[in-house]
Amino acid sequence: MDISVLFPALASLTWQHILMILIGLTLIYLAIFKEYEPTLLLPIGFGTILVNIPLSSAINQIDGKTGEIIEGILSVFYEGGIATEMFPLLIFIAIGAMIDFTPLFNNPHLLLFGAAAQFGIFMTMFIATLFGFDLKEAASIGIIGAADGPTSIFVASRFAPHLLGPISVAAYSYMALVPIIQPPVIKLLTSKKERLIRMQYSSKKVSRKALIAFPIVVTIISGLIAPASLSLIGFLMFGNLIRECGVLNKLSQSAQNELASLVTILLGITIASTMTAERFVTFGTLTIIALGLLAFVFDTFGGVIFAKLLNLILPAKKKMNPMIGACGISAFPMSARVIHTMGLKEDPHNFLLMPAVSANVGGQIGSVVAGGLILTLVNLFA
Amino acid sequence: MINNVEAALEIGAIGITGIFIFMLIFYAAIKLILKLFPEKENKEE
C-alpha cells in the first residue's frame, strides 16, 4: 500500500515543517533551560510543533474530498481571542493589577524617559518601510520596540495578523535578552564619568486617594486626546484601579495570578497557530527578527541620549545618570535591574535601583501610549 | 513605497512628540493629584 495513504502526515512532511519543529524545540529549550520568558515562549514553542505536523487537527484543515473547512481548536482560539483582541486586553488588566505607580509619584519627572525610550518604535518603523514593508506592517514591526508583548500583539493583530508569529517571538525573545542587548549600547554611548553620576531620589508615601485617582485621570485624558488608545490604556488602568481601590483585593489577586496565568497559556499557544511553515519560513521573518533587535537598540539609544541632552541644561547637583534613560522601556523590572547592576559595577556605592524603577514604570505607560498613538496615526496615514 | 517611507517619517515625528506631550500631561496630572490628595502624616501614638 502507498505510504501516503497509510501515513499521510509523514508523506506530507517537508523540510519547512521540520525546520519549524526545530524552531519550536529551540523555543522550548530557551524557555526551560535559559528561562527566557518561559511563560510565553514555552506555549509558543509547543504550539509551533503542534501546528507544523502536516494535517494537524489543531488548526483548520480543508477536507480534500468535500472542500469543507474542518475547524481546529487553535484556529478557533485565534478567531475568538486574538482577532477580537480579547486575549491581549485581558492581559492588560492583569498587568495593570501588577503595576505599582508609587515610584512614579515619587519622581514624576522620570516619566519623560518613558517617552524618549520609545524612539526605537518609530525609527524601526521607518527602516521597515525602507525594506519594502507597507505602513501597517512597518508599524507592527516597529512596535516590537515597545518592549511590551501584549502591546505588540495588540497592534500586530490589528494591522498585520499574518506577521503576528515572528513579531511575538521577536518581542518576547528580546525582552528576555535585555541584559545582553542594553549594556553594550549604553557603554558605547556613555563615558565612565557619566556612569558614575549619583542621583537624588525622593521616596515618600503616596496617599491611597492619589493612587486611586491616577488610573481614572489617565484614562479620561488619554481617551479625550486619542480615543483609539482607550482599549489599551483603559484596560491597563482598570486593572490598576482594581489593585489600588483597596476593596477588591480578591479580584486584584485573581487578576494578577489566575487571569494572568490562564490568558498567558491561551495567548502563547494561540499565537503559535500563526507560526505555520508556509507563513514563517520566509525572508520576511528573518528581516522582522533583525529589525526587532534594532528596535531595542534604538530604544536604549533614545533614552540614553535624552538623558545626556537633559544634563546639558540641568545644574551640576541635579545631573542624571544617563544609564537611567535606558530604563524608559517597558521591560519591567528587567531593565531597572540591569541598570542597577551596571551602576554597582562602576561604583559599588551607587544605588540606581529606585530611580531606575521609576523610569521603568514610566516606560510601561509610555509603551501603551505609543501603541495607542500608532493605532491612531497609522489609520490616518494608511 | 516612497509614500510609505514619507508617511513613516511623519508618523515618527508626530508620534514621538505626541508621547512627550502625553507624558508631560501625566506629569502635570500627578503633581495636581498629589496636591489634591496629599499623604497625611500618621499621628504619633
pTM for the model = 0.88
How far apart CA B7 and CA B3 sit, in angstroms, is 6
Report in angstroms the alpha-carbon separations of A108 from A115, A204, B33: 12, 12, 12
What value of ipTM does the predicted structure carry?
0.89
- Predicted confidence at residue B45, as pLDDT, reads 39
Across the interface, whether the CB atoms of B22 and A206 are under 8 A apart is answered: no
- Min distance B44 CA to chain A CA atoms (Å): 16
Cell of A51: 501546528
Distance from CA of A275 to the nearest CA of B (A): 27
| Per-residue pLDDT reduced to its tens digit, A190-248 | 999 999 999 887 778 899 999 999 999 999 998 998 888 888 899 999 999 999 999 99
C-alpha cell at A270: 494561540
* Angle between helix A135-142 and helix B2-36 axes, rounded to 10 deg: 40
SS3 A68: coil
The C-alpha of B45 sits at a distance from chain A's nearest C-alpha, in angstroms, of 19
Type of residue numbered B34: L
Q: Which of A115, A221, A381 sits opposite B11 (nearest CB)?
A: A381
Nearest CA in chain B to A217: B29
Question: Is B25 within 8 Å of A217 when comparing Cβ atoms?
Answer: no
CB A140 within 8 A of CB B19: no
Q: Could you identify the residue written with the cell 501516503?
A: A4
So what's the pLDDT on residue A116?
A: 96
Q: What is the pLDDT of residue A11?
A: 86
| Cell numbers for A178 | 535585555
Q: Shortest CA distance to A342 belongs to which of A116, A203, A110, A178?
A: A178
* pLDDT for B42: 55
Mutate to test the interface with B, among A107, A111, A245, A310 (most CBs of B within 10 A): A111
pLDDT averaged over chain A? 92
DSSP conformational letter for A261: H
Residue in B8, B36, B40 nearest the CB of A129:
B8
Q: What is the pLDDT of residue A137?
A: 96
Q: Which residues pair with A62 in a beta bridge?
A: A69
Chain A positions touching B40 (Cβ under 8 A) are: 207
Q: Are A291 and A141 in contact (CB under 8 A)?
A: yes
pLDDT at residue B43 greater than cutoff 50: no
Q: Which of A93, A37, A79, A30 is nearest to A262 (CA)?
A: A93
Would you put residue A35 in left (φ > 0), alpha (ψ -120 to 50) or beta?
left
Mutate to test the interface with A, among B26, B32, B34 (most CBs of A within 10 A): B26
Write down the pLDDT at residue A228: 82
Residue of A107, A119, A230, A373 to mutate, testing the B interface (most B Cβ within 10 Å of its Cβ): A373
Interface test with B, best of A110, A118, A203 (most B CBs within 10 A): A118
Long-range contacts (CB closer than 8 Å, 24 or more residues apart) made by A203-208: A203/A106, A203/A354, A204/A106, A204/B39, A205/B39, A206/A102, A206/A105, A206/A106, A206/B34, A206/B39, A207/B37, A207/B38, A207/B39, A207/B40, A208/A244, A208/A246
Structure confidence at residue A1 (pLDDT): 65
Q: Smallest Cα–Cα separation from A380: which of B22, B18, B24?
A: B18
Residue A69: strand pairing partners = A62
- What is the C-alpha to C-alpha distance for residues A183 and A340, in angstroms, rounded to an integer? 11
Contact residues on chain A for B35, CB-CB shorter than 8 A: none
Q: Which residues of B touch A217 (CB under 8 A)?
A: 29, 33
Query: Which segments in chain A show pLDDT lower than 70?
Result: 1
Element (H, E) at A62: strand A61-62
Give the DSSP letter of residue B42.
P
Q: Which residues contact A272 (CB under 8 A, 6 or more apart)?
A: A24, A43, A44, A45, A46, A47, A48, A50, A51, A74, A165
Q: Is there a contact between A153 and A82 (Cβ–Cβ < 8 Å)?
A: yes
**Chain A positions in Cβ-Cβ contact with residue B13 (cut-off 8 Å):** 122
Chain B neighbors of A108, CB-CB under 8 A: 26-27, 30-31
pLDDT score recorded for residue A65: 82
Q: How many Å apart are CA B31 and CA A219, to the nearest integer?
A: 17
Q: Can you tell me whether residue A100 is helix, strand or coil?
A: coil
Nearest-neighbour CA in chain A from B43: distance (Å): 14
| Cell (9 digits) for A72 | 481546529
Q: Pick A218's closest partner by Cβ from B18, B26, B38.
A: B26
**Identity of residue A48:** T
Residue B11 distance to chain A (closest CA, Å): 6
DSSP class of A70? E
